[in-house]
Amino acid sequence: MKDERFSFSKCSLTRSMGIIGTKWKPIIVYVLQTRKVRFGQLDAYIPLITRKVLTEQLKELEDDGLVIREAFSELPPRVEYSLTEKGLALLPILNSIIVWNEKYETEPKENYCPTSEFFKD
């Protein structure tokens, strides 16, 4: 997030929300898990995300130190994304957020968060 109101805050919580408190980043991190995933796989697997937003968010996640982007010199072009240690450390927090929400959501809804379970090697 480029919003300096978040990133320039003296409060660690606020700075953190500037990184993860967005619509798509948590999902991307959650989907990556421990795998290396290609752009097109992410695009196909995360419902409703546009390639424009996916590109942006991956770039920001890379800037924020959560994601590694590995480009290969080959054609068709091939790029793989994976989590850094920092990104991996966020996973249990995301899981606890899901558990928290599902426990206390007023009108319980199904959880359709994409996971990495469906990726084929």
Partner DNA sequence: ATTTATGGTTACTGCAAAGTAACCACTATC
Partner DNA sequence: GATAGTGGTTACTTTGCAGTAACCATAAAT
**Cβ neighbours, 10 Å, residue 57:** 22
Angle formed at CA 15 by CA 9 and CA 16, multiple of 5 degrees: 160
- C-beta separation of 87 from 61 below 8 A: yes
Judged by beta carbon distances under 5 to 8 A according to partner kind, the member of DNA, a second copy, none in contact with residue 65 is a second copy
- Residues 19-38 within binding reach of a second copy (CB under 8 A): 19-23, 26-27, 30
| CA torsion through residues 21, 37, 66, 83, sign | positive
Q: Look-up: residue for tokens 């995301």?
A: 94
52 binds a second copy (CB under 8 A): no
Tokens of 74: 């080959």
Interaction site with DNA (CB under 7 A): 1-5, 22-25, 38-41, 48-53, 55, 57-59, 69, 75-80
Show the site string, 77-116: x = touches a second copy by CB under 8 A, - = not: --------xx--xx-xxx-xxx-xxxxxxx--xxxxxx--
Binding site for a second copy (CB under 8 A): 5-6, 9-17, 19-23, 26-27, 30, 47, 65, 85-86, 89-90, 92-94, 96-98, 100-106, 109-114
